[in-house]
Chain A
Amino acid sequence: MNLVNISEPDKKKSNNILCLGIDFGTTNSVCSVKIDEKIIYIEDSKKKLIPSIVLFKNQKVYIGNQIKNSSISELIFSVKRFFTENPDQIIFDQGSNKKTAIDISKEIFSYIKNLSQDYLKQNIDDCVLTVPAYFDEKARSGIMRAAFLAGLNVRRLINEPTAAAFAYGLEKKKRGLFLVYDLGGGTFDVSILELKEGIFRVLGTGGNSKLGGDDLDILFAESILKKYFSVNLNEVDNDLKLKTIKKCKSIKEKLLNKKSVSEKIKLEEDEKQINIESQLLNQSIEKLIDKTIAIVENLLNECDVSISSVDGFILVGGSTRLEIVKEKLKNKFKINIFSELDPDLVVSCGAAMHGYELLNGSKNLLLDVTPLSLGIETMGGLMEKIIPRNSPIPAIREQIFTTNENGQTSIKIKILQGEREVTSANNILDEFVLSGLEPKPAGIPRIKVRFSLDVDGILFVSAIDESSGKENNLVIKTNEQLSIQEMRELVSSSIQNAKKDIDLRLLIETKIKATKLINEINNVKPMMNKLCTTKESKEITKIIKLMKIELKSDNKDKISNLIDDLNDKTKNFAQKIIDSNFSNFVGKEIDLLDKS
């Protein structure tokens, strides 16, 4: 099998189920598909790299290589970076046009889906999507949600270094113990994998989700301005700063195969023709590379793997083209370095191979781990780990909780992700309120909380009151996000029925909105009965009933109307909630019983 790119064949018919392999990158995205033993890259204006750039202009959306000659300040780039903060925050705000990181990524996914369909001349929904191994729960589910909203059916979420190793395992028949060093545009991952015949297994993963090629560009720009203009990059106004960084990025790329380049650099009125040597680049980014090396060493240590037993490094991500990266790794670890497969394309290629095997059957199995520990807050604000990092997935763990006050009828549970002892230093994923417990003396109720981490690395939490045995006795109040599972069900059921892409997308979004609303109202039902008149409650319940019936159909307009109705009818109630006192509803602290 060869990694060739077929130039526009007339027929793309295959006897196999097609599945896209999408690498949604900080700087560039890549999409490929395996058709009859060949990997084919979906091109955007004849280019395999699709810049992850979005432009909203004159009520239209432009993406990737469509964008030409536009001012840099208008462009939205590196949207992937926002996923590790909060994928739902608004990052583009132009009057009525407000977009979150998910909305913007959805546009990129739609674009990729359309490019693929144009090329394949058929509808395609199935994909395997890759994410940085070190991405946390919020970032993972955020990216998945964005893809679902674009009408893609994400069959599997896999880690980028794992995908790359899969490609090396199949394409280059590599066997043994390997370190995948993946330095992308915005993230750094390292994974240790054992590649055996038929089984590719991740032993451990480490990284930094906020360290990548973008940071190298900034450091390089800082050095150039300091050296040739005696200017501090942070003192330059934003537009010029972005332009300068972009310029330095292109110089960095030119220095990949040259010792020095002569470039004209303009800073406001000051224009200079300067000769830039690769040594300056190396000096300015050296510290960052050292940081990645320290992460590699920690991982080896943690997994009890000695470097002498490792068969080599596999390099992934555009930034690993830099000679200094290879040199530093070689000097430090003194083992083989492999980069035969294009480090920009290998992740998508591995995803496409994996997708093909998942849907068409295969003898190769991919076993991965969770990168970060998951747990809950215990008394005193400490984190109790329930699923430690580097546990193989899927993983199911249970923990028993009880009350610490007599007659307590609700318990609050904070779900955490991270490695620190103290809650506040970790990522708070969610807060649960289990209410409706029967009042009993402190320490008597037994609430079993189950953490279920699925094979995509997505977490589901459920709870059951063991003393009453009734699961539905509990009201679980989570944030307003629709779960991935619900979304997956909506998408796959809609895909089966829908005809046109655009209608499909709108329909999915409307359904998601409606389900979200029903969930919100269900979560506060006990309060509704307290705060609303019987007539109001009845009306709300009636609309919800109608909506549930309509959700089974594909009538977008009817669902939309019902959403408006429901919003209208609950306005009054929403105000009452705000006015009422929340504190008597939420339990104070939780106790933890050790599972004996």
Chain B
Amino acid sequence: MTSSKNCWSCDKRIGYKDFVCNACGVLQKPFELNPFDIFSIDKKFEIDAKNLEEKYLELQILLHPDKFMNASQEEKNFSNIHTSFVNNAFKVLRDDVSRIKILLEYFGYQITENESFQDVSVLEEIMELQNKSMSIESESEKNKIKSQLMDKIEKEIKTVSQLFNEKKYKDVYKSCIKLSYLQKINGNLK
């Protein structure tokens, strides 16, 4: 991988991941980066949400279109694309399921969407929760199911963390599917 590039404006040699040229101060062309690299944080499942948010806001201050109102048309366009990338990456990293998928890809695990979901007991567990959440009648019942769900989500996140440490990526993926179902049910409860 290239570690440096030339500034498109002043042609000076600058770092590959530099958003702004340190010589002429001009915004660089948008480039594809792993979401973790955008925020310069470690590629691991556990994430410091507060730190991520701080870095997100720092990048907004650097890249947002409002900061390029009087800049050249090129820089305006670049700023729009950069900021969109940052917004997307922030979203991907904050969501457990999408973060897992990005990491699995990074560690070289091939996700095949069609891979059948073998574990019948897990399927049954989810079906049961789904049915329960569809037939809620009272607020207290809703809260009960919500806290059940939260417990399960928390537990699954711990499992994923453990499995990542053990490099059992196939099992991570299985947990990830379960987690995505749990979160979907949780989202529908809102």
Contacts and interface: CB of A to CB of B under 8 A. Distances in A.
Interface of A: 155-156, 196, 198-199, 201, 301-302, 358-359, 361, 365-367, 391-397, 452, 454-455, 594, 596
Contact of B67 (A365, A454, A596): A365
B84 A302 contact: no
A596 B111 contact: yes
Nearest to B87: A392
Interface residues of B, number: 21
Interface string B70-88: 1000000000110111011
A454 B80 contact: yes
B65 interface: yes
A395 B84 CA distance: 4
B136 interface: no
Nearest to B187: A302
Contacts of A301: 190
B81 A396 contact: yes
Contacts of B65: 394, 454-455
The listed residue with most B CB atoms (<10 A of its CB), out of A198, A367, A397, is: A367
Given A199-B61, A367-B64, A155 B69 contact: yes
B87 A394 contact: yes
Given A392-B87, A395-B88, A199 B57 contact: yes
24 contacts: A196-B57, A198-B61, A199-B61, A302-B190, A358-B69, A361-B70, A365-B60, A365-B64, A365-B66, A365-B67, A391-B91, A392-B87, A392-B90, A394-B65, A394-B80, A394-B84, A394-B87, A395-B87, A396-B80, A396-B81, A396-B84, A396-B85, A397-B88, A596-B111
Contacts of B64: 365, 367, 455
A359 B60 CA distance: 18
A395 B81 CA distance: 8
Interface of B: 57, 60-61, 64-67, 69-70, 80-81, 83-85, 87-88, 90-91, 111, 113, 190
B67 to A, nearest CB: 7
The 6 closest A-B CB pairs, nearest first, are A396-B84, A392-B87, A455-B65, A394-B84, A358-B69, A394-B80
A365 B80 contact: no
Given A358-B69, A394-B80, 20 more contacts: A155-B69, A156-B66, A199-B57, A201-B57, A359-B69, A359-B70, A366-B66, A391-B87, A391-B91, A392-B87, A393-B87, A394-B84, A395-B84, A396-B84, A396-B85, A397-B88, A455-B65, A455-B80, A596-B111, A596-B113
Contacts of A454: 65, 80
Contacts of A366: 66
Nearest to B65: A455
Nearest to A363: B61
A585 to B, nearest CB: 33
Contacts of B113: 594, 596
Nearest to A456: B65
Contacts of A365: 60-61, 64, 66-67
A508 B83 CA distance: 32
Contacts of A198: 61
A393 B70 CA distance: 20
Contacts of A199: 57, 60-61
A367 B66 CA distance: 9
Given A198-B61, A365-B60, A358 B84 contact: no
Contacts of B91: 391
Nearest to A201: B57
Contacts of B61: 198-199, 365
Output the residue of B88, B111, B113 with the most chain A CB within 10 A.
B88
A548 B190 CA distance: 54
Contacts of A594: 113
A160 to B, nearest CB: 18
Residue among A366, A395, A454, A596 with max Cβ neighbours from chain B (10 Å)? A395
